[in-house]
Amino acid sequence: MGTEVQYKPGADASPTTVIVETVADLTNQEAQNLPALYDSVDPDAVDQLFKHKGAQQLKLEFQYDGFQVTVDSSGSICLEETG
């Protein structure tokens, strides 16, 4: 079972910020001590893709620091440990 968090499209906290902060919380680390997100995915592309909540249903999956990350255009981010 994974951890699900929400982001608000168009809000100050981008999806990638929410992902990094959540992984930091789940692993009891400081966000700046985590691997660079751009080693797994292009953060700017992710934020642009999910910037606005629209009629189009989008879903993106990638791995980051031992987690399978799923971002959904409805505002849902699911993180599941892969190890």
- pLDDT tens digits, residue range 47-63? 998 887 665 788 999 99
pLDDT at 52: 73
pTM: 0.90
Mean pLDDT of 22-40: 96
16 half-sphere exposure, CB direction, 13 A CA radius: 17
Q: How far apart are CA 44 and CA 61, in angstroms?
A: 15
pLDDT at 50: 87
Over residues 4-15, the pLDDT tens digits come to 998 887 677 889
